[in-house]
Amino acid sequence: MKKITKKAVKEKTAKEKAEQSQAARKKAEKEREERSKQKALQNQVTEESVEEVKTTPEVTYIHEEEMETSKKPTYVGQIGYYNNFYNFNIVGKLDKNGYTALRDYEIDELLRNESIKRNINLSYEFWNEKQSSFMRENLFQDQWLLFDFEIEDLQENYDSSGQRNPTAFKINFAEAYSSKVIRSLSNDGYYRLLSEEDLYDDIHTTKRIRINGDDICVNDKILVNFKDGFYAGPFEIKYSAVTDDFFFIAHDATAKGVISGYDNTNCVRTVIENEVDGWNGASLYVYSIVDESKVIKRDVISDKELIESVIELMKDSSEDKSTESLLKKYTESALLAGNLSAEVKQSRIQRVKSIIETGNISEEIKDSFSELIRSFLHVNKETRAIDAYASIWVDRSEAFQNARQVESDERLEIAKQQIDSLKQELQKANDEIAELEKNNIHNASDQYQESLVKFNLVDDIKALEQKKKGLENDVSYFERHNDDLKNETRKLESGVVDIARRYTEEVDRIVFDGFVSSKMLESAAEWRVSNEEQSFYEVMKRVNAIESEPLSANDVIEYFVEAIQIVRPQYSRNTIINLLICTTQGFLTVFSGKPGCGKTSICNILAKVMGLREFDSYIEDKGELNNVNRYVPVSVERGWTSKRDFIGYYNPLTKIFEESNRDVYNGIRLLNLEHKNNCSKYPFYVLLDEANLSPMEYYWADFMNVCDDIEDNNTINLGNNNIYSVPETLHFLATINNDHTTETLSPRLVDRAWIITLPKVQASHTSMSDLNDVVKLVSWEELNKAFVAVSEVNQSLDIDAQKIYDDIKKHVGLVDINISPRADSAIRNYCYVASHIMEPDDFGNDPSIVALDFAVSQKILPKIEGNGEEFGQWLMDFKEILSSNMMMNSVGILEDIINRGNKSMNYYSFFRENLW
């Protein structure tokens, strides 16, 4: 008998398992084929039935009803997560009749008794970090979801050995989620109801409301119970990585101080109960809004905000401050603008009028009300208006009487303090007078000694005057001598010309004469320049003759947004608009950010979508120019100290300009020629890549003054009177790194530039070639229409934005951060344009605040540099100001500065990374 070893038994067992597994797979495949055949046959019968009934209207009506009910069933379930596996645990079914909980046997029947766990696996490649991240962002334990499916839509689930898993079916989650097959309950209009106690912020007074994020998901929607029969919402849940919290925007973006919602009688409650045996999931209460329910707009703005808005209007610099003018301005103010109903507008006007006329004021608005009265009497010059309001205010109500008494007491106390202070100053002055009288004799003696010293200087002055006369005589002599030398030079020039004409055999000898050589080199240089100028002129004409597609300002904006999002899909519309405004309005735009954020690539993308890299393909005969593209990338090198390293220098020996970068030098010459001929049609951009490897103030010094204002008289001198005009079409881009290997940017340069901090985005799978089919040539005139403010327009900020801006200027002034008139004007120009073309952000800010947020982050925050605990506390206070106004872009940058500073022994800087 043959002996059977353990090894043989194992091999046989493994073989049997493999055969069983293969048999199971064949059986499953056969079952699937059978089901497919049955489904195809059923479809064929249905199609034939449709053909038969096409001519019968009544039957067609029945068929449409059947089609309506043929929608895949919707199941409700919760997510279970264990060891990298996400499963959908079915608990019930949702249809037009409402929710029905399913028992164990019903789920078994649904899954054909093949799934032991009675759930469905949401499959993904857990080793793929991108897919794993997608699962973590969109799923969490016990999350409630909807799932539309029939059993044929699911895949059979096998393990690596070929055995059927206890969770017998699976579906690709990413595909199902993107197609809305799997979705949140709020997608179908079923919302959770939160109470005001579930909120971290007061929904009446705060626009951005933080909520507990333990059992909610981004993009879900919720309702909030106001306890008086009003359900506010639905509100979409958002998440901020900057503040690490979940939140929603309560107030309407287009109607300041207004919250939308529904009467609770129009909201139907549905109880999602879980009757599955052995499953510990909790019941869920959700609310759906009855169709065609009327939206209620609730005004929650406070009396304090209304009064303060009137005070802000009184600070207007315009001369006309009559009652009629004030009322007209108020009706056009931000509080009455936007998507407000007529009832809300009228209600607000009546509230303001009632507060002023009756004097019925609360403790909250007492100070604001007193300020209002003083402001009105100060600015309103109408006697009858003053008399009328005085008759209304004086002794009108007990509340107002008390307010006046409190204010009088406060003024009396202040007056007493001022008197005491003046007495102390008087005593101090008397003491100083006595001290002066005491020292008067000593002072007189000192003055006498000083006078003697002055008299002793008289002799020295006389000696200097004699020396001056001697020097003047020397100057006169040298001037006469210089004239003699010029005459001799002219004679020599005439003699040389005669010799060259009569004695050609002497030419070789004469060439080596210094003066003649110089003349010949000058002549050759002039010939070369003249020849090049002709080539430049021809190129200028050809460039100017290139026609671009005419675009309106709105067309330009939409084109840039759509084109850039092809290669930067993570960039929002506002981010792209910000890039275009900065690079168009600013002469220098600096791109800062961590390595890998795409600083250089975004510059290349901007040049590509503007069409600046397409001109070589339009012009074949370039003459002396080897490149006519209007985008020149320059790699800055360490050790650059002047413009000769960046552009080049005039060589006095060869009488020609020696270029360090031919494309930059040729570009400047071409731009100068375009300016002189008034044909600056297209923009010209120069990129300084790794710009701070050398100090920019050294090699870029000639362009510093141009940052202030690009006008016709702006010029640069490249040596030997090679003076070139700098037209408004020339702009510079720069990329910088912020580490110990680079130079810091000086305050002068920071004040003149836009410093853009790029968002950190994941690498895109698209390339620049994807833009080839969409690129358009955009003229400078079209860029101006879209992104540059009109100088004649009054570029004042919105009332809310101005108030925030004033608070910011006041706070930065505490640490001597100066906002120069140049920077202030740039911020106002930027905000004027951006507020008209940007959209509300994810935090519910209207475009005016969004614009100010970008401007502050790019014009004020780059000025931050300081050290010590006191400076760190100032930064924390600054962060609170920005956070309270939801300027989250600036908050994110400031938080990064604080975190880096805390790790660097309390040294805080916008530019520098950690020092230790």
pLDDT computed for residue 401 by the predictor: 47
First vs last Cα of the chain: how many Å apart? 78
Tokens 């790699």, residue?
635
Q: Give the closest residue to 198 by CA, choosing from 185, 190, 210.
A: 210
Report the DSSP beta bridge partners of residue 246. 211, 239
Is the model's pTM score more than 0.75? Answer: no
| E strand map for 540-638 | 588-592, 631-635
CB atoms within 10 A of CB 20: 12
Check if the beta carbon of residue 585 is closer than 8 Å to that of residue 833: yes
Token digits of residue 465: 């005057």
Beta strands in 498-636 (DSSP E): 588-592, 631-635
Q: What pLDDT was estimated at residue 438?
A: 65
Dist. CA 330–CA 799, nearest whole Å:
11
Convert 758-790 into a string of H (helix), E (strand) and C (coil). CCCCCCCCCCHHHHCCCCCCCCHHHHHHHHCCC
Distance separating alpha carbons of residues 508 and 513, to the nearest angstrom: 9
Q: What is the pLDDT of residue 2?
A: 35
Structural contact between residues 864 and 818, judged by C-beta atoms closer than 8 angstroms: no
Specify the DSSP element, H or E, that contains 897.
helix 888-902
Residue 28, CA distances (Å) to 13, 24, 33, 170, 865 in order: 22, 6, 9, 15, 69
Please give the distance of CA 600 from its chain centroid, rounded to a whole number.
18
pLDDT of residue 482: 72
Please give the pLDDT value at position 450.
61
DSSP letters for 167-233: EEEEEEHHHHHHTTSEE-GGGGT-EEEEEGGGBSS-TTT-SEEEE--TT--TT-EEEEE-SSSEEEE
Structure tokens at 761: 């985005």
Task: Please spell the DSSP secondary structure of 458-514, one letter per residue.
Answer: HHHHHHHHHHHHHHHHHHHHHHHHHHHHHHHHHHHHHHHHHHHHH-GGGHHHHHTSH
Q: What is residue 329's predicted lDDT score, i.e. its pLDDT?
A: 61
Can you tell me the distance from the alpha carbon of 615 to that of 778, in angstroms, rounded to the nearest whole number? 12
Q: Is 92:100 a contact under the CB 8 Å cutoff?
A: yes
Q: What is the pLDDT of residue 439?
A: 67
Look up tokens 């993009």; give the residue: 219
Residues of the chain with pLDDT under 50: 1-14, 17-18, 21, 24, 39, 42-70, 277-279, 317, 381-404, 452, 500, 504, 507, 510-512, 527, 915-916
CB 506 within 8 A of CB 499: yes
Place of tokens 């660097």: 904
Q: What is the predicted pLDDT for the residue at 366? A: 59
Q: Which residues sit opposite 85 in a β-bridge?
A: 82
Angle between helices 514-545 and 440-502 (to 10 degrees): 100
Q: What pLDDT does residue 769 have?
A: 80
User: What's the helix, strand, coil split of the chain in %, to 5?
Assistant: 55, 15, 30
Long-range contact list for 896-902, CB < 8 A, 24+ apart? 897/861, 897/864, 898/872, 901/867, 901/872, 901/875, 902/872
pLDDT of residue 404: 46
